[in-house]
Amino acid sequence: MFKKLDNSLSPKNLVLLAVTTLIYFLAAKLGLSTAFVHPRGAPIWMSAGISVAAFILFGYRVWPAIFIGGLLDHFTAQGFVINTLLIPAACTLEGITAAYLVNKFAEGAKAFDTGKGVLRFALFACICAPAINPVVGLGIDYFTGNTNLVGSGFRLLTWWLAYGVGTLMAAPFLILLLRASHRRLDLRGFGELTVLLLGLMFICLLVFGPLSLSLNKNHVVQVWLCVPFLIWAAFRFSPLEAAGTTLILFGSAIWGTLHGYGSFMAKNRTASVILLDTFVGVIGTMTLVLAAMVLEHRRIEEKLLAKQDRLQEASERKTRDLVVTVQALDVEATCHAQTKRALREIQERSHRLGESINPEGKRQ
């Protein structure tokens, strides 16, 4: 169970900040290793999702970890320049903004429990907030003379998509994994999940592996063959398993695209990134929405079944009370009948006794 970060500099809080900084830094380095459009233009920026998840789970006081992680990333890559301070500050502001909007309008860590919450999370954390960093970054490059505004539209688009899709990939899985205890799978459920994941990985190898070069020429294997596995995960398991399944699929899609495999390869690398990010954004959002709606349906069904059980129990209790009442009335009616018979017998005895006492009255 996660716990909000407090003001104290306890060892636990310091360890949490250090771990968050390290994870953010490593994710940033991993993102830079996949950049092929621009030196700092990764197709998907997972650090953005880590930032949003950290702020939602641990509170806004975790900001030093995000800022220092971004600072180390830029300093080790570029040295100390103006970007070294401003871009990490923009990343921190972006994470805080996304977390604030999600907490205010999408119930924070509970956003993935309802379809409406998932859509609001996607709107605020994956569409609105990710615009901050690209605008700041391009503004810095423009005023420092490193770029011009002509032709920067595609770079702005790919930058925005990378941060938005990175948030969609990383944040839901981390939030669902760390926010609370989870329902344990039984042996049958674990076996089904294993079959699902093995099947998905096999299809991903066909769609995004070396074999895709020959298979896709004949349009034998397409990326949409992976979608049934996402639907399977959404219907049969919880949002956590659905988010993990999408993470495997999208990781395979990114790997394949970076190595020249799969359906998203185009002559223009920028177009490849846009196709990849669009696929991840649309399919990822729909999978999480479907999983949340299935979870809502299950909860409503459980509530209805619980109410039905309570009504049935109440009905059985009332029936038992009614049977007891009827039995009591039967006993009372029997007592009344016995009393009437007893009274009638007493009257007859009294009459016979009166006649025996006054026999002359009878003759007269």
| Gap between the Cα atoms of 46 and 190, Å rounded | 28
Mean pLDDT of 269-294: 87
Decide if pLDDT at 133 tops 80. Answer: yes
Mean pLDDT of 194-218: 83
Percent of the residues in the chain that have a pLDDT greater than 70, as a whole number: 87
| Gap between the Cα atoms of 89 and 92, Å rounded | 5
Decide if pLDDT at 192 tops 90. Answer: yes
Decide if pLDDT at 126 tops 90. Answer: yes
| Gap between the Cα atoms of 286 and 292, Å rounded | 10
9 burial (CB, 10 Å; 0-12 / 13-18 / 19+) is exposed
Q: Cα 109–115–118 angle (5° rounding)?
A: 45
Over residues 89-101, the pLDDT tens digits come to 889 999 999 999 9
Domain limits, the chain: 1-181, 183-313, 314-353
CATH topology of domain 1-181: Arp2/3 complex 21 kDa subunit ARPC3 (1.10.1760)
Mean pLDDT of 80-85: 69
CA distances in angstroms from 187 to 140, 184, 233, 235, 294, listed in the order given: 55, 10, 16, 18, 22
Mean pLDDT of 190-203: 92
| Gap between the Cα atoms of 13 and 4, Å rounded | 10
Over residues 313-351, the pLDDT tens digits come to 888 888 888 888 888 888 888 888 888 888 888 887 787
Write down the mean pLDDT value for the chain: 84
pTM above 0.85, yes or no: no
Question: Which amino acid does the sequence have at 154?
Answer: F
Decide if pLDDT at 125 tops 90. Answer: yes
CA distances in angstroms from 104 to 52, 108, 157, listed in the order given: 14, 7, 27
* Cα 233 from chain centroid (whole Å): 13
Tell me which residue of 51, 57, 32, 34 sits closest to 129, measured CA to CA: 51
Q: How confident is the model at residue 363 (pLDDT cuts 50, 70, 90)?
A: very low
